[in-house]
Structure 1
Amino acid sequence: MASLQEGTDGDRQVRVKICGLRDAETIRSMNGLPVHEVGFIFAKSRRQISPALASELVAEVHKLRNPEGHAPRTVGVFVNPTIDVLRETLQAAPLDVIQLHGEETPQFCEEVRRTFGTAVWKVFSVTDSDADDSKSSGPDRLEPYRGSVDAFLVDTAGGGTGKTFAWHVIDRYAEAAAGIPLYVAGGLHPDNVGELLSQYSPDGVDVSSGVETDGVKDRTKIKVFAERVQGL
Structure 2
Amino acid sequence: MTASPRIKICGLRDTATIEAMNGLPFHEIGFVFAPSKRRVDADTAASLIDAAKQLQAADGGTPQTVGVFVNPGIDELEAIVAKAPIDVVQLHGQETPEFCRLVKISLHKKVWKVFSIGKDGISAQERVSAYAGTVDAILIDTAGGGTGQTFDWQVISAYQEAAAAIQVPLYVAGGLNPGNVEELLAGNTVDGIDVSSGVETDGRKDIEKIRLFVRKVIER
Same fold (TM > 0.5): yes
The match for 2:129 is 143
The match for 2:92 is 101
CA distance, structure 1, for counterparts of residue 4 and residue 110 of structure 2: 20
Q: Which deviations, in whole Å up to 9, do the C-alpha atoms of 1:130-189 show, x marking residues without a partner?
A: xxxxx5524421110011000000000111110000001100011111231000000000
The match for 2:141 is 155
Aligned residue pair count? 218
The match for 1:39 is 30
Q: Is the 8 A contact 1:126 1:138 kept in 2?
A: no
Which residue among 42, 45, 50 is the counterpart of 1:54? Answer: 45
Task: Write the mapping of 1:34-183 to structure 2, written as runs, cut at 5 A.
Answer: 34-128=25-119, 137-177=123-163, 178=165, 179-183=167-171
What letter matches 1:22 in structure 2? R
1:110 Cα deviation from its structure 2 partner: 0.5
The match for 1:196 is 184
What letter matches 2:91 in structure 1? L
Moved over 4 A (4+): none
User: 5+ unaligned residues in a row in structure 1: which ranges?
Assistant: 1-8, 130-134
Helix, strand or coil: the match of 1:102? Answer: coil
Q: Is the 8 A contact 1:99 1:120 kept in 2?
A: yes
Q: Is the 8 A contact 2:116 2:143 kept in 1?
A: yes
CA distance, structure 2, for counterparts of residue 231 and residue 121 of structure 1: 27
Relative to structure 1, the CA distance from residue 205 to residue 110 in structure 2 (aligned partners, 3 Å threshold; closer, same or farther) is: same
CA distance, structure 2, for counterparts of residue 33 and residue 14 of structure 1: 14
TM-score normalised to the size of structure 2? 0.95
The match for 1:6 is none
User: 5+ unaligned residues in a row in structure 2: which ranges?
Assistant: none
Identity of aligned residues (%): 54
Which residue among 14, 23, 33 is the counterpart of 2:14? Answer: 23
1:66 Cα deviation from its structure 2 partner: 1.4
What letter matches 1:175 in structure 2? E
What letter matches 2:171 in structure 1? Y
CA distance, structure 2, for counterparts of residue 217 and residue 146 of structure 1: 34
Q: Is the 8 A contact 1:189 1:225 kept in 2?
A: yes
CA distance, structure 2, for counterparts of residue 145 and residue 138 of structure 1: 12
Q: Which deviations, in whole Å up to 9, do the C-alpha atoms of 1:27-86 show, x marking residues without a partner?
A: 000000011000000000000000000000000000001141111100000011111111
CA distance, structure 2, for counterparts of residue 119 and residue 136 of structure 1: 25
